[in-house]
Amino acid sequence: MVRRIALGLLSVFVLTVAAMAAKEVSPVLNFKMKNILGEEVFLADYQGSVLLLVNVASKCGLTPQYEGLQKLHETYKDKGFKILAFPANNFGAQEPGTEAEIREFCSTKYKVTFDMFSKVSVKGEDMCDLYKFLTDPATNGEFAGEIQWNFQKYLIDKKGKVVAKFEPKTKPEDPKLIAAIEKALGE
């Protein structure tokens, strides 16, 4: 009887290890970041969702894109789509505020309900590891290259693979961006 229980437990263990190996985390999701409240978030928790990663700023000519991003979020959130916004002060000091100020601005002015993260650096010597990954040709191939400005967008599929990059001036309602999101959601 004890032997049967031990064999049963061993079988469960082997199946669990095999399942974990089969659900290997994509390299782009293999980062731990802090959300805008300062809580650690494992990006691997987003695996299985289609993601749009965007570096954002509150005092930029492109800041009104928050409105379009919120509409995208509302349209596709129930279909497995998530927006991850990373405030950055790398371009023209256009995100000088604290996390509390950024959160207040986004929730009051644009009614943002998508996932916001703590301020990061997206270029230069203090670039955060996630953006090092996204900009390095060795890790992000055809979608690598320097961040051009605020509101550059990376589309990540359900498996955690970068499948598209959109320049900062690409508005959230751009038909090419919407088509890419819908394609990724359908796969």
> What average pLDDT does range 59-77 have in this prediction?
98
* Residues 86-143 pLDDT 10s: 999 999 999 999 999 999 999 999 999 999 999 999 999 999 999 999 999 999 999 9
Reply yes or no on whether the pLDDT at 38 is more than 70: yes
The domains located in the chain, with CATH, are 25-186 (3.40.30.10)
pLDDT at 19 over 80: no
In the predicted model, what is the mean pLDDT of the chain? 90
Give pLDDT, residue 1: 57
Q: What is the pLDDT of residues 158-174, one digit of tens each?
A: 999 999 999 999 999 99
Residue 15 has pLDDT above 50, yes or no: no
pLDDT band at residue 25 under the 50/70/90 scheme: confident
**Listed residue (38, 6, 43) closest to 25, CA to CA:** 43
Q: Catalytic positions, please?
A: 60
What's the whole-number mean pLDDT along residues 7-15? Answer: 46
pLDDT, residue 158, reads 95
Pairing of strands 81-87, 50-56: parallel
What HEC string does 86-130 produce? EEECCCCCCCCCCHHHHHHHHHHHCCCCCEEECCECCCCCCCCHH
